[in-house]
Structure 1
Amino acid sequence: MPDEGRISPPKLDTTFQPAKNTVLVSHGRPPWYGENGQRISDAFVVGIAGTKRCNSSYVWQQLNTVCPGLFFFLSRFGILFGLSTQADRAVAKPMFLGKSFYKRHTDEELALAHASAFDFDHPDSIDMPLFAACLSDLKACKQSNIPVYSFVTHQREDEPKYLYGAAIIITEGIMALQDPALRDLYDLKLFVQCDTDLMLARRIKRDVEERGRSVSGILEQYLRYVKPAYDNFVLPSQRYADIIVPGSNNTVAIDLICTHIRRKLQERSNSFRHKMATPHMYTSPSGRSIPHYSLEDLNLTVLPQTRQLQGIFTILRSNTSSRQDFIFFVDRLATLLIEFALQYLPFSPRTVITPIEAAFTGKALSAKYVCGVSILRSGGTLERGFKRPLMLHVMLPVCVRKRHMAEETWVFLLDAQIGTGASAFMAIRILLDHGVKPQHIIFVTFLVARGGGVSVLRRAFPDIKIVTAGVDDVMQEGWIDGSPGEGNPQGRQVWTMLPGLGKIADRYYL
């Protein structure tokens, strides 16, 4: 292909620029997709209802204490967001976003809200269709942008909160079981029951001590809004609950709920990395032959194997090369790869006038958004080469986080090599969950293992482009921290590409 040369990047609206890059961390989350790349399990959704001061928040906090494999984010009437299913790698980190799904208010409603005369306890104050749409996206393992409500201005803020990657989602609030569209999304429905006198006592204590309010004002609001909402909407919704949990002395109930959630997560777990690493072991009758996939079979685009490229690989593969030489030639190879991969971006005809007033018809980049997404940490070794011709984002940019933009975004997905293909598989699935079109994904990598997971990757995602500088044949199985033969159950299975480049990120950064 002809060299397209250095191009001018498309201009992005500065209002869409993030304060910092977003890095997705799986925390050991098992794959939510199958070997064909399609989703095989949804997030597990729990709805918790109960009136104010009934200790429903205490219930989900106890769920996290008893079942520490849940990694939660919290929106008071919205999303409790779980990422991890491995207790040893999970960290409880609540994030309070307020009652996110309150509707946008008119000027008249704002005046009532500031005068404490607006009924926030009525179902009509909640944007139920938006809530159901966001929850449906998260349940389907897609990204969603959750609205953020300000109690200072009594209005929804313009910038939503980005959420993605839940293994468990818990919605908690007084109206959580009230709407049928929401109930249809729940896998488990809980109602926290509490004596009304106790709830009123807790409310008075909180508002007097924490908010400086008078007892008379508390009672007026309680009788005018809170008690009618409880009688008319909240209490009747308990008939939809699968389990009714007492507001106190509920250790046994919480333990049973946690056991049920663990069992459901186990049923939804999926693992096939060993099959990706050595696919011939599962497709060849002998289990020994190394598949000789042609580059046409794998649909790879390989950088022309010039003498310059062979010289670069000789330096990068040598364990005696200095770190300075290694970094220099990694950056050089990354630049060559990215510039070669630019051929897959869309270009349209463009006529310009030359300095001697003659017309010339050439090509101009026609992609609306172009970005780079790194698979950390080895994908970072390609970032400098990516920034030279394009100078755009890395990691997870705004044009991917917002779905209406993601559909028009072209993504350079960066990783040092495709061995087992497990990281590449997950990264591609994440981009698809955000709305990026598969034909808009250009995977750029230094090396691909012909006998590794790339064949599985191509079957699952035939429309993506894979651009590489070289192809190695062999994936060698090994063990670290012990092996089964030594009777060490803690041994971890690994696969190494031969002849390979070693641990590129360690050589580059350390």
Structure 2
Amino acid sequence: MSGSPISSNVRVLPTNNQVKALQTSLRNSSTRREDFIFCADRLSRLAVEEGLNLLPSSPTVVTTPTGSEYEGVQFSSRICGVSMMRSGEAMELALRDCCQSIRIGKLLIKRKNPDEEPTVFYAKLPPDAHERAVFLMHPLLDTGASLLKAVALLKERRVPESSIIILNLFSTDEGIRSILDVHPDVRILTTEIGTACPSHFGQIYFGAR
């Protein structure tokens, strides 16, 4: 990770031995597929849980079964998920585990040819996505080209830029800057900012190789 923060809108999951061990397994070429999936699901769960901390909340008081009052908090905005097909679908289980009955949309964005801009091939969003905080799930943020297209589409569907939270596992400094240069109010939650993303992630997770 770079020495100074890129933006106050970027949050990196606090690094500890558990997080580092999961990242190591996901980058290790000798990790078995079943172990890879297990580690990816665990790391995704940690990212989702940290992402929930970015949501606005308000104080609330509830009555406990013993009749006493407890001063707590409750989320003050509804949320939905949008996964970038196909690799983003690897993070859906973690989101469903943390957020019961959450609505999840899907975007398929890819290049027709390597030298062309990404194209939207499929877009299915919850009809009220513009009224919710949107967790945009994409494990790898490399150049940021696909996510730029995804954020632009969400804004076209009336989702406020400040309501978009990108949930990510591995990112590059270049990719993050490419997003924030165009969409400065988008928030990004990642577990690692490095020089390269593990491009094999989707292939191993979904058994494509």
TM-score (norm 2): 0.84
Q: Give the aligned partner of residue 507 of structure 1.
A: 204
Q: Is the 8 A contact 2:81 2:105 kept in 1?
A: yes
The equivalent residue for 2:45 is 335
The 1:418–1:428 alpha-carbon spacing in structure 2 relative to 1, beyond 3 Å, is: same
Aligned to 2:60: 350
Return the alpha-carbon distance in structure 2 between the equivalents of residues 309 and 428 of structure 1.
Answer: 28
What amino acid sits opposite 1:417 in the alignment? L
SS of residue paired to 2:50: helix
**Counterpart among 365, 372, 394 of residue 104 in structure 2:** 394
Structure 1 502/323 Cα, relative in aligned 2: closer, same or farther at 3 Å? same
> What is the DSSP-based 3-state SS (H/G/I as helix, E as strand, rest coil) of the residue aligned with 2:22?
helix
Note if 1:372 corresponds to 2:81.
yes
Encode CA deviations 1:107-137: one digit per residue, 9 max, x unaligned: xxxxxxxxxxxxxxxxxxxxxxxxxxxxxxx
- What is residue 302 of structure 1 aligned with on the other side? 12
Match of 2:166 among 422, 443, 459: 443
Determine whether 1:464 maps to 2:191.
Answer: no
Contact map agreement 1:442 1:467 (CA 8 A) in 2: yes
Residue 301 of structure 1, CA deviation: 0.3
- 1:462 is paired with a residue whose SS is coil
Q: Which residue of 2 aligns with 1:318?
A: 28
- What is the distance in 1 between the residues matched to 2:17 and 2:35? 18
- The count of residues paired between Structure 1 and Structure 2 equals 189
Structure 1 325/401 Cα, relative in aligned 2: closer, same or farther at 3 Å?
closer
Contact 2:103–2:126 (Cα < 8 Å) also in 1:
no
AA paired with 2:150? A
Contact 1:400–1:436, Cα closer than 8 Å, also in 2: no
Q: Report the 3-state secondary structure (helix = DSSP H, G, I; strand = E; otherwise coil) of the residue aligned with 2:85.
A: coil
CA distance in 2, matches of 1:293, 1:459: 19
Deviation string, structure 1 residues 54-90 (Cα, Å, up to 9, x no partner): xxxxxxxxxxxxxxxxxxxxxxxxxxxxxxxxxxxxx
Larger Cα-atom Rg = 1
Residues 144 and 176 of structure 2 are in contact (CA less than 8 Å); yes or no, is this contact kept in structure 1? Answer: yes
CA contact (8 A) 1:298 1:454 kept: no
CA distance in 2, matches of 1:440, 1:308: 30
Q: Distance in 1 between matches of 2:90 and 2:130?
A: 27
Q: How does 1:417-436 map to 2 (within 5 A)?
A: 417-436=140-159
* Structure 1 residue ranges (4+ consecutive) displaced by more than 3 angstroms after TM superposition: 296-299, 399-402
Cα distance in 2 for residues equivalent to 1:354 and 1:296 = 43
Cα deviation digits, residues 155-182 of structure 1 (max 9, x gap): xxxxxxxxxxxxxxxxxxxxxxxxxxxx
Q: Whole-Å Cα distance in 1 between the matches of residues 18 and 49 of structure 2?
A: 16
The whole-number CA distance in structure 2 between the counterparts of 1:340 and 1:466 is 11
Q: TM-score scaled to structure 1, two decimals?
A: 0.36
Deviation of residue 298 (structure 1)? 7.3
Partner of 1:413: 136
Aligned mates of 2:9, 2:73 — CA distance in 1: 26
User: How far apart, CA to CA, are the structure 2 residues paired with 1:305 and 1:327?
Assistant: 20
| Structure 1: runs of 5+ lacking an equivalent | 1-291, 474-496
Cα distance in 2 between the residues matched to 1:305 and 1:325: 21
- In 1, Cα distance between the equivalents of 2:33 and 2:144? 27
Provide structure 2 residue ranges, at least 5 long, that are not aligned to the other structure. Answer: 108-123
Pairing of 1:63-212 with structure 2 (within 5 A) = none
Deviation (angstroms), 1:338: 0.2
Question: What do you get for the CA RMSD once the two structures are aligned?
Answer: 1.9
State the AA in 2 paired with 1:465: R
**Matched-pair contact (CA < 8 Å) for 1:298–1:458:** no
> Which residue of the partner structure matches residue 93 of structure 2?
384
Offset at 1:393? 2.4
Alpha-carbon deviations, 1:19-54, whole Å to 9, x = none? Answer: xxxxxxxxxxxxxxxxxxxxxxxxxxxxxxxxxxxx
Aligned mates of 1:336, 1:401 — CA distance in 2 = 24
> Which protein has the bigger strand share?
2
d(CA) in 2 for partners of 1:430 and 1:303? 27
Alignment partners' CA distance in 2, 1:468 and 1:386: 15
- Which residue of structure 2 lines up, in the alignment, with residue 67 of structure 1? none
Partner of 2:116: none
